[in-house]
Amino acid sequence: MLTPSAGPAPAAVKRPIKSTGAKARYSPDELVALVQRQLDNALGGNGDDLAIERERNLRFYRAQADGELSAPAIPDRSRIVATDVADTVEGMIPPLLRIFASSKDAIQANPKHPSYAAGAKLASAYLRHKFWAQNRGITVLHHWLKDALLQKVGFVKIYWDDTPQDSERTYEGLTLPQAEQILSQPGAQPLEQKTRVESIAPVEGAEPVPVTLVDLRVKLTHQKGRPVIEPVPPEEMRVHKRARYDRDPLFIAQVQVVTRGELEAEGYDLEGVSSGTIDDLEAVQRRSFSQGIGDDDDGEFETYERDDCYLRLDQDKDGVQEWRRVLLIGDTLFEDQKVEEHPFVWFCPVPSPHEFFGNCPADFAVEPQRLGTSLLRGLVDNVHLTVNQRTVVIDGQVNLDDLTNSRPGGVVRAKSQGAITPLVQGQLDAGAWNMVEWTEQWRERRTGYVRMSQSINADVLNPTTATQAALA
C-alpha cells in the first residue's frame, strides 16, 4: 500500500467570538449591537427611498406591463410598454466596454524610477492576466458598468480567496514511482488503490518481464490563494448615511444570503447560529422568475445572512480610528480584526456633490418611458380601432351573428336600410407623431445618449452630468 505524504494542515475551524480582549473598547455583544445599528441606518437597506428607486429602475428596464406600467383593465386594449430605460442602458454599454477593453494599456503599472521599468512591464503583464483571464475581466466590467448605469452606483469587491479547493483524479496503469510521485503532492489523499502485475516487454522483441502497475483514484486539496475581482449586486451594499462619493465612508458592508454548505466549506462552525433571511425587493425584482431570494431547502441549502462589515473604529483604545472587519452570521460575531482598508470600489455615472449615491441614465429615462408608454398605447389602440372599427346598429334590425362573423364576402342580414352604420374612428394627425418624436428627443436630452451614436469618446468620461456630454 502506498503512503501519501503529509498534506497541508486542515483549515482552522472558525467559531463565534466570545471575547474581544480586556483592552478592547467594545465587547462582542456591544460590537454586534453597534454594527447592527449601522446596518439599520445605512443607505441601501431594504425598503428605503434609494432601494425603492433602484427597484423601480429594474422594473422599467424589464418593460413588463405590471405595476405602474399595467395596461388599462379593459379587454383588447394595448399592453405595449416603451423600452427607454433598457434601450439607453444597453446602448451605452458596448461603447463604454470598448474604451476599457480595446487597449491592453487599460491596466498598467507605472514605475516610480526609470530603473524599475522592466519590473513594471512584467507587473503589468501579470495584472492583465489576473484581471482579463483569471477573473474574466470583460464580465466584471460589463456587470460593473451595467449596475452603475441602471442602479446609480456599481460596486466591485477585490479580495484574496484562500478557500481550499478539492478535485478528484483517476489514473490507470501507473508504475510504482509514478504513483508515489502523485501521492507526494501536498494535499494528495488516496481514495482507492488497486495493484496488479502484468508482463510487459521493456523493448520491442525483448522477453516480457513482470511489472507492478497501480490504478489510483486520488483527491487533491489545493490551498493556494488567488486574487478575486467580482461585481457585487447593489442591493447587497450598505453605506454610511453621511458618506460622500469622493471619499471613503465611515461604514460600508455587504449583506449576503449564503447557504450552510458554503459557510461550512469556508470553515465556519454554525452550531447555535440563527438562520433565515429577509426577501429584498431589489433582489426579488432582479430574480424575476423566482418568488424571493431565500431557499426552502434545509441541510446544506439552509440559508443564512452574512454581514461583511468594514468600519473605522478605535477598538484598541489607542486614540486612532482604524479600519476593522467585523463579520456577522445571523446575529453572531465571527470575526473582528484590524485591516488596512475595505475591499470595495465603486463607480457612479452622474455623481452628485456631497452625496454618495448620485444619479444614472436609467433615472433620467424613467419619465420619458412613462410618457412613451402612454403615447404608444394610444397609437396602437387607434390603429386597432381604425382597422377593426366599431359599428352602430338599430336594435332588433340586424342579425348580430352575421355582423360579428367578418368573413370575406359574407352577408349581413338587416331588416331595413340604414340599420347598420360604421362608427368612424378619427385618424391620427401629424401632431401625434410629433409628440412621439418629441418624447424620443426628451429622453436623449435627459440621458445624454442619442439614437445615432456610434461610439462614446473617452473624453466624455469625466465628472459631469450626462446631459453635458456630447455623444453624437
Q: What is the pLDDT of residues 325-383, one digit of tens each?
A: 999 999 999 999 999 999 999 999 999 999 999 999 999 999 999 999 999 999 999 88
pLDDT at 106: 82
pLDDT at 237: 96
Q: Global pTM? A: 0.81
Cβ atoms of residues 223 and 161 within 8 Å: no
* pLDDT band of 276, cuts 50, 70, 90: confident
Contacts of 229 (CB under 8 A, 6+ apart): 130, 131, 135, 137, 140, 156, 157, 158
Average pLDDT, the chain: 87
* pLDDT band of 3, cuts 50, 70, 90: low
Cell numbers 461610439 correspond to 455
For the segment 177-193, the average pLDDT, to the nearest whole number, is 89
pLDDT at 208: 85
> Three-state SS across 385-429?
HHHCCCEEECCCCECHHHHHCCCCCCCCCECCCCCEEECCCCCCC
Cβ atoms of residues 147 and 155 within 8 Å: yes
pLDDT at residue 453 above 70? no
Q: Measured between alpha carbons, how far is 286 from 305 in angstroms, rounded to an integer?
A: 18
Write the pLDDT tens digit of every residue in 97-129: 998 888 767 889 999 999 999 999 999 999 999
- Burial zone of 395 (CB within 10 Å; 0-12 exposed, 13-18 middle, 19+ buried): exposed
pLDDT at 1: 58
For the segment 267-284, the average pLDDT, to the nearest whole number, is 81
CA proximity to 379, closest of 440, 437, 436, 444: 436
